Structure 1
Amino acid sequence: MSVENVLKTIKDNAIEWVDFRFVDLSGRAHHISLPAKEVDEETFVNGVAFDGSSIPGFRGIEESDMVMMPDPDAAYVDPFTAHPTLNIMCNIYTPDGERYERDPRSIAAKAEEFLQASGVGTTAFFAPESEFFIFDDVRYESTMNSSSFYVDSEEAAWNTNRKEEGGNLGFKVGVKGGYVPVAPVDTQQDIRSEMCRLLEEVGLRVERHHHEVATAGQAEINFRFDTLKKTADNLLVYKYIVHNTARQYGKVATFMPKPLFGDNGSGMHVHQSIFNGDTPLFYEKGAYANLSEMALHYIGGILYHAPALLALTNPSTNSFKRLVPGYEAPVNLVFSKGNRSAAIRIPVAAVTPKGCRIEFRTPDSTANPYLAFSAMLMAGLDGIKRKINPVELGYGPMDKNIYELSDDQKAQIRSVPGTLDEALDALKADYEFLLEGDVFTKEFIDNFIELKRGEAKAVAIRIHPHEYGLYFDC
């Protein structure tokens, strides 16, 4: 959409407010709203000022002035506001007009530029499967003398004997029993359909929705793949619509990877491929899973750099509560066709040459998508550049259920880091591939590690309720 078309949209839709948005290092959106009558062509030239010192990991108070530069290609009419509002995603610049090196969206743009300059291909396509839970109640606290959380759902397995419903109607979802049941077991068909309606209303192409494996309202909606930066934009829109639609239904949605103990967590499986113009580069008919040599090297790059990648694709302490064996969690650094216990799965059902792709199953939605997608692309391109062969390195293919292997066989398979601190250690030791083409900078990586170390420490020093059960009677 051109600036002219954005201004026309404002006029045609009687827009009263224009909401300028940017994303922080953790992937959370922030916004400032201007009266629509104050927005003109100059706004897209001069941008909108904001205080960068108030955003964690951005700027010190002595250099706080920053500028949002609106991207007219990332605008849509907000479906929730009472006053007609147009939302526009922005890039971040310094006051002297330089692209801000810590702006995640600018990093995504640089990753796309690096791909084109590399000569490997022209476009990388991404498609995330971002799972989430819909709860009816959520409460938590962490104080000096108390620590607890509580979530509830009308369809949860623990509510088969709940009396507060005024007559329990049964049909609860069992633990690990939630994969695609019909109503009345699936109570959330309409809310997911409304989410999809709104997603299509703002321009996303929805492919399907369904209930996911876990009890208590786990869900998944898939939207159409797109280019790296555009898909990251779409994922922020997706989360915004999921969160606010749930709110309208008197419920709450969360993309937290592991909100429940003892059942499956929520991942963000990321499908990806590279094209040269209209030509897919990951397809070779008759090869293993119809994968080209380039695709194998791309896989090799991701699996080789995976411990470091996880600091960006799984950047929360809660991420590693999901990455444990036994819950369909992709903790094994191998690739396979159709095997969901591998970190990288190659979809083979009903796949065309243009649909040939890899699926990195380890990431989750605490990731900032601009950073995570960029890092995955850089790892894959490094694999192509260095011709990293995943077979020669023992990364597969593994077409067996890994969880059913013997202990000796499992010991031969590399696993993901066990904690956020371990992933950050891996990133500190292996980051050079991210610096190619100045996509990431050493300063950015150091700052990111410091920010996430603070989160890990904040969790580590706090007393866990389960410790009372283990140690209170010592």
Structure 2
Amino acid sequence: MSVENVLKTIKDNAIEWVDFRFVDLSGRAHHISLPAREVDEETFVNGVAFDGSSIAGFRGIEESDMVMMPDPDATFIDPFTAHPTLNIMCNIYTPDGERYERDPRSIAAKAEEYLQASGVGTAAFFAPESEFFIFDDVRYESSMNSSSFYVDSEEAAWNTNRKEEGGNLGFKIKVKGGYVPVAPVDTQQDIRSEMCRLLEEVGLRVERHHHEVATAGQAEINFRFDTLKKTADNLLVYKYIVHNTARQYGKVATFMPKPLFGDNGSGMHVHQSIFDGDTPLFYEKGEYANLSEMALHYIGGILYHAPALLALTNPSTNSFKRLVPGYEAPVNLVFSKGNRSAAIRIPVAAVTPKGCRIEFRTPDSTANPYLAFSAMLLAGLDGIKRKINPVELGYGPMDKNIYELTDEQKAEIRSVPGTLDEALDALKADHEFLLAGDVFTKDFIDNYIELKRSEAKAVSIRIHPHEYSLYFDC
């Protein structure tokens, strides 16, 4: 969309406020709203100023002035505001007009530019399957003398004896028993359908929605693939719609990877492929899973760099509560066709040449999508450049249920890091592939590791309630 068309949209829809948004290192969006009358062509030239020192991981107070530069191709009319509001995603620049090297969205743009300059292909396409929970109630506390969390859902297995319903209505979802049941077991058809309606209204093409495996309201909505940066934009819109629709229904949605102990967590399975114009480059009929040699090398790059990648694709301490065997968690660094126990699955059902892709199942939605998608692309391109063969390195193919292998067989399969600190150690040791084309910088990596180390430390030094069960009577 041109600037002229954006201004026309403001006029035609009687927009009162224009909301300028940017994303921080964690992937959370921030915004500043201007009266629509104050927005004109110069706004798209001069941008909107903000205080970078108030955003974790950005700038110190002595150099805090920063500028949001609106992207006219990333707009939508907000479906939740009482006053008509147009939302515009922005890139971040320094006051002297330089693209800010720590801006996640600019990193995604540089990743796309690097792909095109590499000669490998013209575009990388991404499609995340971002799972979430819809709860009725959430409460948590972490203080000097108290630490707790509590969530509840009318669907939850633990509520078979709840009396607050005025006569328990039954049909609760069993632990690991929530995959695509019909009503009345699935109570959230309408709320998911409303989320989808709003996603379509703001421009995303929804492909399907359904209840997911876990009890207590786990859900998934899939939207159509797009190019790297556009898909990251869409994922932020997706989370915004999901969070606010749940709130309108008097519920709360979370993309936290492991909000419940003892049941499946929420992942973000990322489908990806590379095209040269209209030609798919990952397809070769007759080969394993109809994968081209380029696709195999791309897989090799992701699996080889996976320990470091996880610092960006699974960047929370909670991420590693999900990444444990037995809950469909893709902890095994192998690839396989149609096998959901592998870190990389090759979809084979109803796949056309243009639909041939890989699915990296390890990531979750605590990831900043601009950083995570860019890092995956760079790892894959490094695999293509260095011709990393995943078969020769022992990364598969593994066409078995890995969870059913013997301990001796499992010991031969490399696994993901066990903690955020381990993933950060791996990133510190293995990040040269991210520096290709100056997509990421050494400054960004060092700053990111420092920021995430502080999160890991904040969790590690706090007393866990279960420690009282284990040790109070010592």
* TM-score, normalisation: structure 2: 1.00
Distance between the aligned counterparts of 1:12 and 1:383, measured in 2? 49
Specify the SS of the correspondent of 2:345: strand
In structure 2, distance between residues paired with 1:32 and 1:157? 42
Shift of 1:349: 0.1
Between the aligned partners of 1:363 and 1:469, the Cα distance in structure 2 is 32
Q: Distance in 2 between matches of 1:457 and 1:302?
A: 28
- 1:137 Cα deviation after fit: 0.1
Q: CA deviation at 1:112?
A: 0.1
Alignment of 1:323-362 (within 5 A): 323-362=323-362
Q: Which whole-Å CA distance do the structure 2 matches of 1:366 and 1:26 have between them?
A: 7
- The secondary structure found in structure 1 opposite 2:355 is coil
Q: Distance in 2 between matches of 1:72 and 1:164?
A: 50
Separation (CA, whole Å) in 1 of partners of 2:22 and 2:136: 30
Spell out, residue by residue over 1:336-373, the C-alpha distance to the aligned partner (whole angstroms, 9 max, x if none): 00000000000000000000000000000000000000
Aligned residues: 474
Per-residue CA deviation, residues 83-114 of structure 1 (Å, 9 max, x unaligned), is 00000000000000000000000000000000
Q: CA deviation at 1:388?
A: 0.1
Deviations 1:160-208 (CA, angstroms, capped at 9, x unpaired): 0011111100000000000000000000000000000000000000000
Partner Cα distance (1:9, 1:190) in 2: 30
Secondary structure of the 1:241 match is helix
Post-superposition CA distance 1:123-152 (Å, at most 9, x none): 000000000000000000000000000000
**Alpha-carbon distance between aligned partners in 1 of 2:35 and 2:143, rounded to the nearest angstrom:** 41
CA distance in 2, matches of 1:281, 1:164: 56
Q: 1:425 aligns to what SS in structure 2?
A: helix
State the alpha-carbon separation in 2 of the partners of residues 140 and 436 from structure 1.
42
Partner residue in 2 for 1:245: 245
1:345, 1:443 → 2: CA distance? 33
Deviation for aligned residue 1:290: 0.1
Q: SS state of the match for residue 354, structure 2?
A: coil
- 1:236 aligned onto 2:236: yes
Deviation per CA, 1:251-271, whole angstroms, max 9, x where unpaired?
000000000000000000000
Deviations 1:296-341 (A, max 9, x none): 0000000000000000000000000000000000000000000000
Deviation at 1:57, TM superposition (A): 0.2
Within 2, Cα distance between the matches of 1:213 and 1:76?
32
CA distance in 2, matches of 1:346, 1:2: 38
Hey, what's the Cα distance between the residues in 1 that align with 2:188 and 2:164?
20
CA distance in 2, matches of 1:180, 1:158: 19
Distance in 2 of aligned mates of 1:167 and 1:246: 25
| SS across alignment from 2:270 | strand
Q: Secondary structure at the match of 1:260?
A: coil
1:59, distance to aligned residue in structure 2 (A) = 0.2
- Give the Cα separation in 2 of the matches to 1:439 and 1:452: 20
CA distance in 2, matches of 1:314, 1:199: 25
Match of 2:51 in 1: 51
**1:238-262 Cα shifts (integer Å, max 9, x gaps):** 0000000000000000000000000
> Matched residues in 2 for 1:186 and 1:350: separation?
27
Query: Are 1:468 and 2:453 matched, yes or no?
Result: no
Q: Percent identity?
A: 95
Work out the CA distance in 2 between the residues paired with 1:56 and 1:147. Answer: 25
- 2 CA distance for matches of 1:407 and 1:137? 40
TM-score, normalisation: structure 1: 1.00
Cα distance in 1 for residues equivalent to 2:345 and 2:121: 22
Q: Distance in 1 between matches of 2:406 and 2:213?
A: 26
Q: Name the CA distance, whole Å, in 1 between partners of 2:239 and 2:403.
A: 32
- Mapped to 2, the partners of 1:27 and 1:41 lie a distance apart of 28
Q: Shift of residue 33 of structure 1?
A: 0.1
Partner residue, 2:163: 163
Name the CA distance, whole Å, in 2 between partners of 1:21 and 1:142. Answer: 30
Tell me the alpha carbon deviations over residues 402-457 of structure 1, each in whole angstroms, 9 at most, x when there is no partner: 00001110000000000000000000000000000000000000000000000000
2-structure distance, mates of 1:94, 1:167: 60
Query: Matches of 1:6 and 1:267 in 2, distance apart?
Result: 35
Q: Distance between the aligned counterparts of 1:397 and 1:326, measured in 2?
A: 20
Question: Following the alignment from structure 2 to structure 1, what is the Cα–Cα distance between the partners of residues 368 and 319?
Answer: 13
Q: Quote the Cα distance in structure 1 between the aligned partners of 2:405 and 2:394.
A: 16
Give distance in 2, aligned partners of 1:470 and 1:335: 38
* Structure-1 separation of matches of 2:270 and 2:90: 24
**Equivalent residue of 1:236, what SS?**
helix
**Equivalent residue, structure 2, for 1:135:** 135
Write the distance in 1 (CA, Å) between the matches of 2:359 and 2:399: 15
SS in 2 for 1:117: helix
Aligned to 1:210: 210
Distance 1:189 1:470 in 2: 41
Q: Provide the rounded CA distance (Å) in 1 between the counterparts of 2:244 and 2:3.
A: 28
| Structure 1: distance between partners of 2:163 and 2:217 | 20
CA separation in 1, counterparts of 2:9 and 2:204? Answer: 18
For structure 1, list consecutive stretches of 5 or more residues without a partner in the other structure: none
Counterpart CA distance in 1 for 2:395 and 2:357 is: 18
Tell me, yes or no, if structure 1 residue 106 matches structure 2 residue 106: yes
Runs of 4+ deviating beyond 6 Å: none
Distance 1:394 1:411 in 2: 12
Post-superposition offset of 1:232: 0.1
Cα distance in 2 between the residues matched to 1:394 and 1:5: 53
Q: 2-side partners of 1:154 and 1:164: how far apart?
A: 10
Q: Give 1:398 shift.
A: 0.2
**Secondary structure at the counterpart of residue 148 of structure 1:** strand
Measured against aligned partners, the alpha-carbon deviations of 1:270-291 in whole angstroms (never above 9, x if no partner) come to: 0000000000000000000000
Q: CA deviation at 1:14?
A: 0.2
| Structure 1 residue 230, shift from structure 2 partner | 0.1
**For the residues of structure 2 that align with 1:154 and 1:403, how far apart are their CA atoms?**
31
Q: 2: distance between equivalents of 1:43 and 1:11?
A: 16
Query: How far is the alpha carbon of 1:156 from its aligned partner?
Result: 0.2
Q: Distance in 1 between matches of 2:174 and 2:4?
A: 53
